[in-house]
Amino acid sequence: MNEFLLIILAYFIGSIPTAVWVSRYFFGVDIRDYGSGNAGATNCYRVLGSKWGTLVMIADMVKGILATSLFLLIPYYMQDEWDRTNFMVGLGLAAVLGHIFPIWAEFKGGKGVATLFGMVVAIQPTVAVCCVAVFLSVLFLTRFVSLSSILASISFAVFILFIFNEKETLYRVFAVTVALMVIFTHQKNINRLLKGTESKIPILKHRDRKRNRRRNMF
């Protein structure tokens, strides 16, 4: 099986429209008709709840991991780290492209952040853990998934370029591209954040109720 066929297969894997299938099968609706209109985990959190949002997020991450791991089907890449990393980046990007423009869902998908993260997990697990720490920290403090995703993607570029100082040129270019791509695909979210109208996901409600009670006491 040659590289081109694996790239196509990676795109097909990324094209699996998890959010659309979950919303149709379990709720009888198309998630793209509600909330932000995106077929991704964040919109599922808002519309379907945290349980289904988490399920979709994990499934989309697995897509990225599986697609990027297709390099295992070509023994040559087990021996050459430089070529392996470059090929894994190509496979991962094909999966992300599939998630954003899924052939199985009229080419109307999500923003690709979860699939992108799965790709990073497969290529560089240590960096992935660092990005998760940034994502969860921001999410805990703000409950904005969009802001968490944007800052995690920017931190990914910072980790690759400066902290871990990765040598592969393609990987460094990829890291910067990821940050720019996530910012670009979240323009509407950024506008809502600036206007104060961005939706928060329904977590840490107990903490918020506590804060409200304290405010009402004074």
Q: How many beta carbons lie within 10 A of that of residue 5, not counting itself?
A: 11
Q: Is the pLDDT of residue 112 over 80?
A: yes
Using alpha carbons, select from 122, 110, 76, 115 the residue that is nearest to residue 95: 115
**Least confident residue range of 59-68, 83-92, 116-125, 202-211:** 202-211
Instruction: Please state, in angstroms and rounded to a whole number, the distance separating the CA atoms of residues 38 and 183.
Output: 15
Q: Check if the beta carbon of residue 61 is closer than 8 Å to that of residue 95.
A: no
Q: How far is CA 47 from CA 108, 154, 162, in A?
A: 18, 27, 38
pTM: 0.84
What is the chain's Cα-based Rg?
A: 18
The DSSP code sequence of 53-90 is HHHHHHHHHHHHHHHHGGGGGSGGGGT-HHHHHHHHHH
Q: Is residue 211 within a helix (H) or strand (E), and if so which, with residue range?
A: helix 205-217
**Rounded mean pLDDT, 166-193:** 89
**Rounded mean pLDDT, 195-213:** 68
Predicted confidence (pLDDT) per residue in 47-77, tens digit: 998 889 999 999 999 999 999 999 999 988 8
